[in-house]
Amino acid sequence: MALGEFDLIARFFQRPARRSALGVGDDCALLQPASGTQMAISCDMLVEGRHFFAGADPERLGHKALAVNLSDLAACGARPLAFTLALAMPQVDEAWLAPFSRGMLALADAHDCELIGGDTTRGPLNICITVFGEVPAIHGKTRALLRSGAGADDDIYVSGTLGDARLALEALRGHVSLPVDALARTRLRLEQPTPRVALGQALRGIATAAIDVSDGLLGDLGHILAQSGVGATIDTSSAIGLIAENHYPTWAGVDFSFDSVAITPLSLVLAGGDDYELLFTAPSSAREAVTAAAHASQTPVTRIGRIDATAGLRLLDAQGQPVSGRFDSFDHFA
C-alpha cells in the first residue's frame, strides 16, 4: 500500500520533540536558543545525478545529506541543534526511505541534532537540508569562526586527508581504475563523509578563520583570502605529505598514470572537492593550542602554509620554487 505524505512523515521521520519546544507536525517548529548564543544556519541541496549517482546507497546518502550540512556548522565552530529536511522523490519507496532515514537519523543522533520539520513532495530526487547550530556570543560579539578573520603570518592548517572522495568519484565515472579495496575505502569517504564538528568547536577562540573543504582546497582557501583581504603561500610538499603513504595507505597501490583526465595526486589534494575537512588559520603563537584542539577532538591536522599580507595564492615546492598547473575548484555552474 502506498503511504500518503503525512503517513510517510510519521513513519520514517517523526519522533518526540526533545530539544525543540515543538517538533514535526505543526505549521512551524519552535526553537528557543539559549541565552547568550547566536543561531548558526546553513542550507545545502543535493540533486541526483549532480551530487550523487542515481542508485546511490540510500543509507549512505541519508548520512551524507546531513553530513555536508553539519560540516558547515563545524566550519563556524557551532554546536549542532536541529535541522529541517525537504525531500522530493519520484515515488514513495519504503525500501529506499527506511535506510535513507536510518542513515540520516543515526548521524543526527551522534551529534544530538534533532529533525524538527520539513516537507515531502513528488519530484525528481532532491534532498534539501537546513541545519541550525548555536555559537556563543559574548556581549553581542560572535564567537563563530568566520572566513574573514585571517591575518598576515597566520599559519594555514587542514584537518584529516584530502583527495579520497574525488579519486573515488573519478573511479566511479570510469576515468580511473582502482583496486577493489582502494575503491571501497575511498568510496566511503565520498559517500559517507565525517563532518569535523568537534574540531570546529575546539577551534573557537584559537582559529582566526575557517571554512570546510567542499569545492577543493584551493578554491575554498580562495574564499578565506578574498574575505580576509590577504594572500597565502602553500607548501605543496606538505600537501603532498598529506597524500604520502603514512596518511594514505589507500593510495599506495594506485597507478596515477591515468590517460583519460589530468588527475595527479597533487591535483586531488589541492582541488579534489567533497572532502568536508576543515581548512583554518591561526596565529603561529597558537600552535600548541591548535595541537591541543586537534588532540581533544581526536582529529589530525596538518600545517600546510601561511597567510601573506600580499594578495594572491602562491604554491611552492619543497625547494621553494613555484608550482605550475591549473587546479580548478568545483563550481556547480562552471
Touching a copy of itself, residues 62-91 (CB under 8 A) = 72-73, 75-76, 78, 84-88
Name which of 42 and 236 has its Cβ closer to a copy of itself: 42
Name which of 142 and 237 has its Cβ closer to a copy of itself: 142
Q: Please report how close the Cβ of residue 271 comes to a copy of itself at its closest, in angstroms.
A: 15
C-alpha 328/C-alpha 334 separation (Å) is 10
* Burial (CB count <10 Å: 0-12, 13-18, 19+), residue 181: exposed
Beta pairing, strands 37-47 & 126-138 = antiparallel
- Cα–Cα distance list, 60 to 115, 201, 284, 313 (Å): 17, 25, 38, 35
Which of 71, 51, 66, 246 has its CA nearest to residue 161? 246
Q: Please report how close the Cβ of residue 125 comes to a copy of itself at its closest, in angstroms.
A: 9
Give, as ranges, the residues between 217 and 256 that touch a copy of itself (CB under 8 A): 227
Q: Please report how close the Cβ of residue 278 comes to a copy of itself at its closest, in angstroms.
A: 10
Name which of 31 and 190 has its Cβ closer to a copy of itself: 31
Q: Determine the 3-state secondary structure of 120 from DSSP.
A: strand
33 binding a copy of itself? (CB under 8 A): yes
Q: Please report how close the Cβ of residue 103 comes to a copy of itself at its closest, in angstroms.
A: 20
- Cα–Cα distance list, 304 to 93, 235, 236, 279 (Å): 46, 6, 7, 10
E strand or H helix at 88, and its extent?
strand 79-89
Name which of 83 and 251 has its Cβ closer to a copy of itself: 83
Name which of 80 and 305 has its Cβ closer to a copy of itself: 80
Name which of 75 and 107 has its Cβ closer to a copy of itself: 75
Q: Please report how close the Cβ of residue 145 comes to a copy of itself at its closest, in angstroms.
A: 8
Give, as ranges, the residues between 44 and 63 that touch a copy of itself (CB under 8 A): 44-45, 47-51
Look up residue 25 and give its three cell numbers: 507536525
Give the residue, chosen from 1, 16, 32, 259, that forms a contact with a copy of itself under the rule CB under 8 A.
Answer: 32
Q: Please report how close the Cβ of residue 238 comes to a copy of itself at its closest, in angstroms.
A: 24
Q: Please report how close the Cβ of residue 3 comes to a copy of itself at its closest, in angstroms.
A: 7
Q: Please report how close the Cβ of residue 177 comes to a copy of itself at its closest, in angstroms.
A: 28
120 binding a copy of itself? (CB under 8 A): yes
Q: How many CA atoms lie within 13 A of 80 on its CB side?
A: 30
Q: Which residue type occupies 110?
A: A
Which of 327, 281, 296 has its CA nearest to residue 149? 281
Give, as ranges, the residues between 139 and 198 that touch a copy of itself (CB under 8 A): 140, 142, 144, 146-148
Which stretches within 192-307 are classed as H helix? 197-202, 217-228, 236-241, 265-271, 287-296
Q: Which residue type occupies 13?
A: F
Give, as ranges, the residues between 7 and 26 that touch a copy of itself (CB under 8 A): 8, 21-22, 25-26
Residues 192-211 as x/- pattern, contact with a copy of itself by CB under 8 A: ------------------xx
C-alpha 4/C-alpha 7 separation (Å) is 5
